Amino acid sequence: MTENPFEKPAPLSFPPLYDGIAVTGGVDPFEKACAMAALGCDSGTLTHNVTPDALRAAIVFAPEMPLAAAMAVVAACGIGFQNALGALAPPEVAVHLTWPSEILINGGASGRIRATASTNDPAVSPDWLVVGIELLLLPKSDADAGDTPDQTSLFQEGCGDISPLRLLESWSRHTLVWINRLLDDGPAPLHTEWRGLVTGIGDEITVGEKIGTFVGLDENFGVLLRDGNTTTLIPLTTRLEQG
């Protein structure tokens, strides 16, 4: 008997360091996590809202380092999600990321990584940093499936049997692995892994008002754009959402 991908496996299994909190209805778990962080909740608070059409979740962190260096946590969450979905999806399904935020399945945009913090100053250690994921499980409408070939969903890519709740559990575990590796070995292993997952290196891309060739990432996961003989750094901190 095929498992119902939306049936809750009770209880959800998160690593001990995470405190899972389900939100329902139209509540955005990212906004919920930000509100809880501002009120002083513990690091490791994991809010989530899984509906038939979308998976949304967020984790609260309290990094004890300047924001510029703490952005490695965003990379850890992105890598963790790619690893989680890659492990559950059929082997022919390719999962990649873009700089700074999109989740790609077989080249189609299917979700995003979000982040915000208590400060936007790269030199200041934030009181909290929230990283969220969003993944489209089903197309928004029948029209979307044909009219937006650059966008996709988990179902459209042959992954309809994946339980989004098991994917959520897997994301939490894989992310913790990369967080621990960050603490033990520094950002270099994450940098190497993320560079291998990010698409577009060597291509001309647009970031805000800047256009240039994506030539690589700096040590804090900022994008390096080359325009002629000029190389411009756009820090990952500039892509944080305004709290």
Q: Mind listing the pLDDT tens digit for each residue in 104-132? A: 999 999 999 999 999 999 999 999 999 99
Q: Which pLDDT does position 90 carry in this prediction?
A: 95
Torsion of CA 27, 174, 76, 98, to 10 degrees: -80
Residue pLDDT, tens place only, 160-192: 999 999 999 999 999 999 999 999 999 999 999
Q: Which pLDDT does position 208 carry in this prediction?
A: 86
Does the residue 163 lie in any domain? Answer: yes
Domain count, the chain: 1
Name the strands in the sheet holding 210-217, side by side, starting at the edge strand that comes first in the sequence: 204-207, 210-217, 223-227, 230-234
- Is a pLDDT exceeding 60 seen at residue 218? yes
Does the residue 220 lie in any domain? Answer: no
Section 183-206 average pLDDT:
94
Does the residue 214 lie in any domain? Answer: no
Q: Which pLDDT does position 140 carry in this prediction?
A: 80
The pair phi, psi for residue 116, each rounded to 5°, is: -155, 165
CATH number at residue 196: 3.30.930.10
Confidence category of residue 2, pLDDT binned at 50, 70, 90: very low
Does the residue 228 lie in any domain? Answer: no
Confidence category of residue 146, pLDDT binned at 50, 70, 90: low
Residues 35 and 58: their CA atoms lie apart, in Å, by 12
Among the ranges given (5-9, 14-18, 228-232), the one the predictor scored with the smallest mean pLDDT: 5-9
Does the residue 118 lie in any domain? Answer: yes
pTM of the model: 0.92
Does the residue 3 lie in any domain? Answer: no
Section 19-38 average pLDDT:
96
Structural domain of residue 154, as residue ranges? 19-200
Does the residue 187 lie in any domain? Answer: yes
Does the residue 111 lie in any domain? Answer: yes
Q: Is 52 exposed, middle or buried (0-12, 13-18, 19+ CB in 10 A)?
A: exposed
Alpha carbon of 236 to those of 69, 124, 134, 224: distances in Å? Answer: 10, 15, 19, 11
Give the chain's length. 243
Section 131-146 average pLDDT:
82
Q: Which pLDDT does position 8 carry in this prediction?
A: 46
Residue pLDDT, tens place only, 63-108: 999 999 999 999 999 999 999 999 999 999 999 999 999 999 999 9
